[in-house]
């Protein structure tokens, strides 16, 4: 896999509750944030009248937002790798489900293909949230070779379990909490796929 360089990091900004109080008072005047810090007039000491520029302090408008910001940039290479793996999985399922021995198995495998397509969409969206750019893969995905049905189920099971493990390992090392939660969800999805392959294989055993 190619080596990808994360974008340069900037020092995290220090949260100032007075700044956030001014913003929330402008957006939701009825909200009484930090009441213990107010003076007799109901204001925070030294608080100026907020202006429109204060809205730029909201999370999401910052250079280092709470989620999918500077910390998540450290995981860009991992995200790219997962996108390309999931794209390969989509192609595999698309080639595999028409070769299922019955319609029920074909429907099950096709649903897993749809799950993988959703994984790709989510990871592409996360890539955009972090970088502000659309992801365009330059890697050619080879056409998978589909062997005998049970042998293919066996191989697919091992791929799904390894994929689940890799997502959980990435989640454990992700510095961004939202990215960590996404990796955990995708890891659980891949674990369910592995269990589905066990069920499909069990239905074919004597």
The pLDDT, as a whole number, for residue 175 is 87
Q: Where are the domains of the chain?
A: 17-57, 71-204
| pLDDT digits 0-9 by tens, 23-63 | 445 544 544 444 444 555 555 444 444 444 544 454 444 45
Q: How many residues does the chain have?
A: 206
> In which band, very low, low, confident or very high, does the pLDDT at 66 lie, cut at 50, 70 and 90?
confident
| pLDDT digits 0-9 by tens, 153-193 | 999 999 999 999 999 999 998 888 889 999 999 999 999 99
Dist. CA 75–CA 71, nearest whole Å: 8
Alpha-carbon torsion 64, 189, 107, 149, what sign?
Answer: positive
93, 36 Cβ separation under 8 angstroms: no
* Least confident span in 4-8, 83-87, 114-118: 4-8
The pLDDT, as a whole number, for residue 151 is 93
* Count of C-beta atoms within a 10 Å radius of residue 155: 15
Looking from the CA of 148 toward its CB, the CA atoms found within 13 Å total 5
CATH number for the 71-204 domain, one of 3.10.310.40, 3.30.360.10, 1.20.1260.10, 3.40.30.10?
1.20.1260.10
The pLDDT, as a whole number, for residue 2 is 47
The pLDDT, as a whole number, for residue 176 is 84
* Count of C-beta atoms within a 10 Å radius of residue 88: 16
| pLDDT digits 0-9 by tens, 119-143 | 999 999 999 988 888 998 777 777 8
Dist. CA 102–CA 99, nearest whole Å: 9
> In which band, very low, low, confident or very high, does the pLDDT at 22 lie, cut at 50, 70 and 90?
low
H or E stretch covering 186: helix 177-204
Q: What angle do CA 14, 17, 19 make, to 5 degrees?
A: 85
């Amino acid at each position: 896999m190619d080596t990808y360089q994360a974008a340069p990091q900037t020092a995290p900004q220090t949260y100032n509750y007075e700044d956030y109080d001014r913003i929330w008072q402008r957006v939701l005047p009825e909200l009484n944030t930090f009441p213990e810090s107010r003076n007799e007039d109901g204001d925070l000491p030294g608080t100026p009248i907020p202006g429109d520029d204060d809205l730029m302090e909201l999370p999401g408008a910052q250079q280092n937002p709470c989620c999918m910001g500077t910390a998540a940039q450290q995981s860009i290479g991992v995200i790219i790798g997962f996108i390309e793996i999931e794209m390969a999985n989509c192609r595999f399922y698309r080639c595999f489900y028409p070769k299922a021995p019955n319609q029920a198995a074909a429907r099950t495998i096709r649903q897993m293909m749809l799950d993988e397509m959703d994984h790709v969409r989510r990871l592409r969206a996360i890539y955009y949230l972090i970088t502000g750019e659309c992801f365009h893969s330059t890697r050619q995905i080879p056409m998978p070779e589909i062997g005998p049905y049970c042998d293919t189920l066996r191989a697919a099971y091992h791929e799904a379990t390894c994929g689940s493990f890799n997502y959980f390992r990435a989640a454990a090392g992700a510095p961004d909490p939202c990215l960590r939660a996404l990796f955990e969800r995708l890891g659980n999805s891949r674990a369910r796929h592995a269990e589905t392959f066990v069920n499909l294989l069990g239905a074919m055993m004597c």
